[in-house]
Amino acid sequence: MGRLVMKFGGTSVANIERIQNVARHVKREVDAGHEVAVVVSAMSGKTNELVAWCTEASPLHDAREYDAVVASGEQVTSGLLAIALQSLGIQARSWQGWQIPILTSDAHASARIVGIDGSEIIKRFSERKEVAVIAGFQGIHAETGRITTLGRGGSDTSAVAIAAALKADRCDIYTDVDGVYTTDPRVVPKARRLDKVSFEEMLELASLGAKVLQVRSVELGMVHNMPIFVRSSFDKPEDIDPHGTPPGTLISSEENSMENHVVTGIAFSKDEAQISVRRIEDKPGVAASIFGPLADANINVDMIVQNVSEDGKTTDLTFTVPASDFARAKQTITSAQDKIGYARFDSETDVAKVSVIGSGMRSHAGVAAQAFAALAARNINIRAITTSEIKFSVLIDAAYTELAVRTLHTLYGLDQV
């Protein structure tokens, strides 16, 4: 007997039939003797609809009221799942974020969790054998009493935070795929599912383009050492042995997750834009004059390359930003041209970032050099490079993304045997 948190995403609860399927998954774990809390997302497409309504009502809407509207999607799902569980003879009740409560900051639409009181849910586990069905993605700001939301994909974050607060044995993330793959199987059909991934590797994969988990949920799992198991909600509930290990990927601490390969996976993102600010006077404070205003505008800068000219008096700075932030980044820099003192602004939006991730890089030399040689053999030009202890990324022309991913996937022996 253990304590589980089960999280189901939007495609898993897209309609009543799928909600009833989720109820059978939950019943399987309850019948096996587990104490269960379930975290649900809004039904597929519902959050987009609610966001569109807010924008239609007023393009410059109040963020507090926006949260009140978009949080309702999860409220509907939690109530429907509780009803479905009750119809199966399972004692269950729905919980909204404010009822637990899940306390957050007041950054509406992107709030951060500051505390969760799980005592009442734990009490009901023992006294009533009751399943808690919790609306994900939402909480409450204690000082104002206003409903808050955690940003898109926030139900994953809710689930891991609740698992930590309830001292659960594991947090199961049910989704429309059966685990974490070495890369996107739609790009590389030979991609294989990983049985285990370390928190650190998953954090890199999630931040560099893998869409399976929200980055903040992985951060929380690492901080609280909460094992996360990614699995499919579309497996038939009755075919799964609750005491066995179903297909999926376990994300846990590195000592439990190291496998016998140097590279764990290849991630990629086409949501990139490259900016080059040319012939800037090479003196202290120049980088701050560019990246300071970008930070003030909440624009994340990723890859940075600086080249000093031959005369040593001027320099070029090249960096990347998310494509969605390109227009704001361009405006921010061009409006500060007099202060920065650059001669030319160049940009390119048709670029992609391809990243190689693996804890084994710590103890193996030449991993990146192999990639550079393999890409060169395919006539793929590298525009920029960044590295860290367990990953490196290259910026290339977007047209070569799939070729680069397939090349690197084969190079590091990640294809299925």
pLDDT in tens, 69-81: 999 999 999 999 9
Contacts of 232 (CB under 8 A, 6+ apart): 174, 175, 176, 177, 178, 179, 247, 248
**CB neighbourhood size of 283 (10 A):** 10
| Phi and psi, residue 326, nearest 5° | -60, -45
Instruction: Please compute the mean of the pLDDT values over residues 192-220 and round it to a whole number.
Output: 88
The response to whether 285 counts as a known ligand-binding position is no
CATH class, 266-411 region = alpha beta
Please check whether residue 51 is in contact with residue 70, taking contact to mean a CB–CB distance below 8 angstroms.
Answer: yes
Is residue 260's pLDDT more than 60? no
Instruction: Please compute the mean of the pLDDT values over residues 320-341 and round it to a whole number.
Output: 90
Multiple choice CATH, 3-257, 3.90.1150.10, 3.30.70.580, 3.40.1160.10, 3.40.190.10:
3.40.1160.10
The response to whether 9 counts as a known ligand-binding position is yes
In the chain, list all ranges with CATH 3.30.2130.10.
266-411
The response to whether 74 counts as a known ligand-binding position is yes
For 207, which DSSP code?
A: H
In the chain, list all ranges with CATH 3.40.1160.10.
3-257
Place of tokens 């891991």: 160
pLDDT of residue 310: 65
Nearest-CA neighbor of 7 among 207, 170, 249, 140? 170
150-153 contacts at long range (C-beta below 8 A, 24 or more positions apart): 150/104, 150/110, 150/111, 150/112, 150/113, 150/216, 151/109, 151/110, 151/111, 151/216, 152/47, 153/214, 153/217
The response to whether 8 counts as a known ligand-binding position is yes
Report helix, strand or coil for 355: strand
Residue 311: pLDDT band with limits 50, 70, 90: low
DSSP string over 301-353: ---EEEEE-TTSSEEEEEEEEEGGGHHHHHHHHHHTHHHHT-SEEEEEEEEEE
pLDDT of residue 255: 64
% of the chain exceeding 90 in pLDDT:
71
**β-bridge pairing 170-175 and 138-141:** unpaired
The response to whether 211 counts as a known ligand-binding position is yes
The response to whether 397 counts as a known ligand-binding position is no
Q: How far is CA 410 from the centre of its chain?
A: 25
Instruction: Please compute the mean of the pLDDT values over residues 227-248 and round it to a whole number.
Output: 86
Nearest-CA neighbor of 202 among 254, 131, 149, 135? 254
Q: Give the CA radius of gyration of the chain.
A: 24
pLDDT of residue 366: 87
The response to whether 176 counts as a known ligand-binding position is yes
| Phi and psi, residue 312, nearest 5° | 75, 5
The response to whether 175 counts as a known ligand-binding position is yes
The response to whether 181 counts as a known ligand-binding position is yes
The response to whether 139 counts as a known ligand-binding position is no
Query: Cis before residue 185, ω within 30 degrees of 0?
Result: no
pLDDT in tens, 146-196: 999 998 889 999 999 999 999 999 999 999 889 999 999 889 999 999 999
The response to whether 186 counts as a known ligand-binding position is yes
The response to whether 193 counts as a known ligand-binding position is no
